[in-house]
């Protein structure tokens, strides 16, 4: 019986325009499109900034060797000299001469530091300031090396050389671990919203539920068939989203940064990830079906389900915050736990105790909600709709006395 | 074939309190008979039919279909029953052929037996032209034909029709009534609920008139005429409702 209902539901879903849009097209197309647009805009923005020279005015009190160092730089700096000026006249001068940065000494003494004036509200000025900082850092290191060498016979060159020990793979997974878990939870849950409303509320509205319930179909078989069909659509949305997200990051990451990264998920973690997706889909969809069952029609169901969705997915955002650990405590927080669990899987650090706690707690929630759904969604309730007093009477007895 | 004894159903409303939708209702309907269930809106017709179809539980009394109790043996009751309402209740994204297959399988049919039954119903109701068109694209008349075929898929001994001609044009309504008469001839026990008097007069062997959940009168047209002293069903109906408005008086 279960298989007959499941087959019918899936056939209906795959022929439903709205379900196809929300469960298949949206997960595949949304993120590539968003990332592509953002990538194009940022490439355009930063690309044009990169190609623009930085217009720098250097006051006559700035040390000459520093100016020479700036002029020798490979960076595209257009350096001009300006006479000594008061601090108060820098801003109007910067605007009048259409400059990005003005450099001057803060006082009259050689000991006084050099000041860099810039406009933080202008991208071009910010870019010029960053370039100056980079060149002056090199200048400072060179000066320091010269001083050390003049004091010590075997002076050691002081230079900062960054050596990133993280592999290309682990850097990619770190980035993926921040983005993917939150989005997978959001999309998996979103993929089940429309089918959750469709299977009970819409069917009751169209009276097809009544027709089916008059047939010798068991209520358990019917609910289970519908439930598994909704989970299937939800899981499909989640899996498609993971694939779409990885491909998107591989091929359209901002500014070509993907050249140095390799986005993939450890194959060995895929079964655990699939279990996580199925459990989050099952738990959320059981809740959605139950809530939607109270509504008289599709629109009312949407207004009930949408706030639950909006609030419910908030804890998933936590995984995107750096420094939140996946441990036995965070594994007890619903939704946050599955999000952190996905992050640990993607980053290849499987923590078994929190993993077991997370999966067990999700399973417990799922069983509780399903049992509740099975108790509530009896034939009477499926036909007439759920009402508050029905919950009381069904959960605590006296069904016929109250008349449901 | 249908035996209803002291059937009651009470609904609870937070504002109006207890509402007796069906109150101590009793009647029987035999094989090869069409029993008309006549009553105004809110008389308790649909609630009675839903109890007989095992969709609702009774608050009191008993009901049997094909010898099976609706509370104790609901699965056997459903297997013996073909139920049709005015809303057709067809899955919009499935084709008539797929709907017949789905309901056949739910009724335990499969393989060649199911295939030949589907083919026979498609031929009988002349729906072959649109058997593979999604139901959402069919007209009301076409949908109703599919619904009747769907209700008959397992060839049940008992048929319940709840206002099956509501929303249909004259031709589709006539075709529906013709099909119902044909199945009466084949020995089916048919319970026909409506508030359209002319349909009841044309179709039904006996008529049960209910009002506010209680049975006002039951019998053949002749027996009802004798009981009320009125000639036309509409007058009989108004007489039993106690409204005082009769066919003769209102001159319609």
Tell me what pLDDT residue A379 has.
57
Residues in B touching A404 (Cβ below 8 Å): 11-12
Q: What is the pLDDT of residues B208-229, one digit of tens each?
A: 999 888 998 899 999 988 888 8
Q: Which pLDDT tens digit goes with each residue over A323-336?
A: 788 888 888 888 88
Q: Of B55, B94, B108, which has the smallest distance from its Cβ to A11's Cβ?
A: B94
Q: Which residues of B touch A215 (CB under 8 A)?
A: 78, 103, 106-107
Put simply, whether B81 touches A (Cβ < 8 Å) is yes
Q: Quick check: B20 contacting A, CB < 8 Å? A: no
CB atoms within 10 A of CB A195: 30
The alpha-carbon gap from A175 to the nearest alpha carbon of chain B, in Å, equals: 42
For B173-200, how does the pLDDT look when each residue is reduced to its tens digit (9 = 90+)? 888 888 899 899 999 999 999 888 888 8
Which domains are present in chain A? 2-41+169-402 (no CATH), 53-151 (3.40.190.10)
Lowest mean pLDDT among A263-272, A283-292, B158-167: A263-272
Query: How many C-alpha atoms does B247 have within 13 Å on its Cβ side?
Result: 11
In chain A, the percentage of residues whose pLDDT exceeds 70 is 86
In sequence order, what are the residues at sequence separation of 6 or more whose Cβ sits closer than 8 angstroms to the Cβ of residue A183?
Answer: A31, A241, A245
pLDDT greater than 50 at residue A160:
yes
pLDDT band at B82 (very low <50, low <70, confident <90, very high): very high
Dmax (CA) of chain A: 101
**A206, B85: Cβ pair inside 8 Å?**
no
Q: Name chain A contacts of B85, Cβ cutoff 8 Å.
A: 207, 210-211
In percent, the amount of chain B with pLDDT more than 70 equals 96
Q: Please tell me the predicted confidence (pLDDT) of residue B247.
A: 42
User: pLDDT value at position A243?
Assistant: 83
pLDDT at B69: 94
More reliable by pLDDT, A232 or A248? A232
Contact between A403 and B12 using a beta-carbon 8 Å cutoff? yes
pLDDT band, very low/low/confident/very high, at B249 (cuts 50, 70, 90)? very low
Query: A203 to chain B nearest CA, in Å?
Result: 8
Confidence of residue B141 (pLDDT cuts 50, 70, 90): confident
Q: Indicate whether A402 pLDDT > 50.
A: no
Instruction: Please state which of the ranges A14-23, A41-50, A111-120, B220-229 shows the lowest mean pLDDT.
Output: A41-50
- The pLDDT of residue B244 is above 70: no
pLDDT beyond 80 at A212: yes
A200 Cα to chain B: minimum distance (Å): 13
Whether the per-residue pLDDT at B73 is higher than 50: the answer is yes
Comparing CB atoms, the residue among A11, A208, A379 nearest residue B90 is A208
**What residues of A are in contact with residue B103 (Cβ under 8 Å)?**
215
Interchain contact B15–A (C-beta under 8 A): no
B94 neighbourhood in chain A, CB within 8 Å = 8, 11-12
Q: Verify whether the Cβ–Cβ distance A214 to B78 is below 8 Å.
A: yes
- In the prediction, which pLDDT does A150 show? 76
pLDDT (average), residues B225-243: 83
Contact, A149 vs A142, CB < 8 A?
Answer: no
Choose, out of B54, B97, B102, B161, the residue to mutate when testing the contact with A (most A CBs < 10 Å): B102
Mean residue pLDDT across chain A: 80
The pLDDT assigned to A349 comes to: 77
E strand segments, B47-93: 60-65, 68-69, 81-85
Single out the residue of B97, B104, B138 nearest to residue A4, CA to CA. B104
Work out the pLDDT band at B243, boundaries 50, 70, 90. low
Averaged pLDDT for residues B17-30: 89
Res A154: pLDDT: 65
Nearest by CB to B53, from A206, A214, A403: name it: A214
User: Within an 8 Å CB–CB cutoff, is residue A88 touching chain B?
Assistant: no
Tokens of residue A127, six digits: 């870019």
Instruction: Please name every residue paired with B215 in a beta bridge, in sequence order, or none if there are none.
Output: B210
Higher-scoring residue by pLDDT: A215, A95: A215
**B91 contacts in chain A (CB < 8 Å):** 8, 12, 208
Do residue A380 and residue B90 have CB atoms under 8 angstroms apart?
Answer: no
CB of B92 within 8 Å of a chain A CB? The answer is yes
What is the Cα–Cα distance from A190 to A306, expressed in whole angstroms? 10
Section A205-225 average pLDDT: 83
pLDDT value of residue B171: 82
For residue A93, what pLDDT is reported?
Answer: 74
- Whether the complex's predicted ipTM surpasses the cut of 0.90: no
CB contact under 8 A, B9 and A403: yes
pLDDT tens, A307-317? 888 888 888 88
pLDDT in tens, A67-87: 888 888 888 888 888 887 777
Q: Which of B10, B85, B102 sits opposite A8 (nearest CB)?
A: B102
Please give the pLDDT value at position A269: 79
pTM, two decimals, is 0.74
State residue A355's pLDDT score. Answer: 92
pLDDT of residue A180: 80
Query: B87 touching A, CB under 8 A?
Result: yes
Q: Which residues of B touch A389 (CB under 8 A)?
A: 12, 14
Task: Say if CB B207 and CB B18 are below 8 A apart.
Answer: no
Q: Alpha-carbon distance A401 to B9, whole Å?
A: 10
A206 interaction partners in chain B (CB closer than 8 Å): 87, 89, 92
Cα gap A297→A304, rounded to integer Å? 11
SS (H, E, C) B9-24: EEEEECCCEEEEEEEE
Contact A172, A263 (CB under 8 A): yes
CB distance A298 to A199 below 8 Å: no
Q: Grade residue A398 by pLDDT with cuts at 50, 70 and 90.
A: very low
For residue B81, give the nearest of A208, A214, A380 by CB distance: A214
Taking the CA of residue B246 and the nearest CA in chain A, the distance in Å comes to: 36
Query: Is residue A149 over pLDDT 80?
Result: no
Write out pLDDT tens, residues A15-26: 888 888 877 887
> pLDDT at residue A388 above 60?
no
Chain A hits for B54, Cβ within 8 Å: 213-214, 379
Q: Does B91 touch chain A (CB under 8 A)?
A: yes
Say which range, A161-170, A286-295, A376-385, has the weakest mean pLDDT: A376-385
Asked if A399's CB is within 8 angstroms of B59's CB, the reply is no
Question: What is the structure's pLDDT at A192?
Answer: 86
Chain A contact for B133, CB < 8 A? no
- Residue A14 confidence (pLDDT) above 80: yes
* Smallest Cα distance from A274 to chain B, Å: 30
pLDDT at A397 over 80: no
Which strands form B214-219's sheet, in the order they lie side by side?
A: B81-85, B158-162, B189-194, B34-38, B206-211, B214-219
pLDDT of residue B192: 93
């Amino acid at each position: 019986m279960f298989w007959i209902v499941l087959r019918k539901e899936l056939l209906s879903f795959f022929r439903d325009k709205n379900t196809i849009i929300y469960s298949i097209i949206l997960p595949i197309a949304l993120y590539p499109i968003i990332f592509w647009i953002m990538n194009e805009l940022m490439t355009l923005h930063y690309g044009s900034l990169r190609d623009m020279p930085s217009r720098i005015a250097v006051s006559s009190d700035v040390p000459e060797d520093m100016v020479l160092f700036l002029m020798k730089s490979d960076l595209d700096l257009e350096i001009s000299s300006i006479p000594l000026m008061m601090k108060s006249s820098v801003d109007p001068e910067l605007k009048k001469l259409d400059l990005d940065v003005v450099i001057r000494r803060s006082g009259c003494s050689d000991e006084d530091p050099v000041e860099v004036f810039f406009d933080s509200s202008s991208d071009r000025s910010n870019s010029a300031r960053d370039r100056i900082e980079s060149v002056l850092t090199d200048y400072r290191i060179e000066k320091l090396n010269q001083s050390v060498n003049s004091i010590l016979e075997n002076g050691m060159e002081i230079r900062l050389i960054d050596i990133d020990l993280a592999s290309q793979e682990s850097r990619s997974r770190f980035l993926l671990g921040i983005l993917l878990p939150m989005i997978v939870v959001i999309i998996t849950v979103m993929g089940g919203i429309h089918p959750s409303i469709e299977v009970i509320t819409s069917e009751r509205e169209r009276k097809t539920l009544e027709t089916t319930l008059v047939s010798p179909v068991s209520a358990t078989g019917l609910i289970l068939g519908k439930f598994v069909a909704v989970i299937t659509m939800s899981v499909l949305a989640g899996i498609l989203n993971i694939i779409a997200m990885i491909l998107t990051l591989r091929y359209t990451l901002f500014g070509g940064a993907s050249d140095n990264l390799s986005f993939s998920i450890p194959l060995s973690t895929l079964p655990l990830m699939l279990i996580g997706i199925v459990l989050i889909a099952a738990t959320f969809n059981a809740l959605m079906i139950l809530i939607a069952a109270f509504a008289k029609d599709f629109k009312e169901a949407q207004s009930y389900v949408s706030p639950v969705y909006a609030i419910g997915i908030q804890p998933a955002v936590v995984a995107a915050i750096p420094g939140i650990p996946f441990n036995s405590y965070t594994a007890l927080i619903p939704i946050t736990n599955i999000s952190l669990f996905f992050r640990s899987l993607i980053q290849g650090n499987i923590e078994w105790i929190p993993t077991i706690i997370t999966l067990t707690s999700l399973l417990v929630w799922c069983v509780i909600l399903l049992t509740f759904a099975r108790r509530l969604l009896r034939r009477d309730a499926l036909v007439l709709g759920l009402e508050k007093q029905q919950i009381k009477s069904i959960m605590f007895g006296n069904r016929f006395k109250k008349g449901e | 074939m249908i035996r209803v004894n002291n059937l009651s159903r009470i609904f609870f409303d937070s504002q109006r309190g207890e509402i007796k939708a069906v109150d101590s209702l009793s009647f029987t309907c035999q094989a090869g008979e069409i029993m008309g269930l006549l009553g105004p809106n809110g008389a308790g017709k649909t609630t009675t039919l839903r109890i007989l179809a095992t969709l609702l539980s009774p608050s009191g009394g008993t009901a049997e279909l094909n010898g099976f109790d609706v509370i104790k043996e609901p699965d056997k009751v459903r297997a013996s029953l073909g139920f049709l309402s005015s809303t057709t209740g067809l899955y919009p994204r499935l084709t008539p052929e797929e709907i017949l297959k789905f309901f056949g399988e739910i009724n335990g049919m499969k393989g060649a037996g199911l295939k030949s039954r589907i083919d026979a119903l498609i031929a009988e109701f002349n729906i072959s032209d649109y058997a593979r068109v999604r139901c959402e694209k069919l007209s009301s008349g076409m949908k109703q034909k599919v619904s009747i075929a769907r209700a008959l898929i397992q060839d049940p001994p008992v048929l319940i029709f709840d206002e099956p001609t509501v929303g249909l044009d004259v031709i589709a309504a006539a075709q529906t009534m013709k099909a119902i008469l044909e199945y009466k001839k084949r020995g089916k026990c048919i319970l026909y609920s409506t508030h359209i008097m002319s349909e009841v007069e044309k179709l039904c062997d006996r008529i049960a008139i209910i009002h506010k959940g209680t049975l006002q009168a039951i019998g053949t047209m002749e027996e009802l005429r004798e009981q009320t002293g009125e000639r036309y069903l509409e007058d009989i109906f108004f007489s039993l409702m106690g409204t005082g408005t009769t066919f003769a008086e209102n001159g319609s």
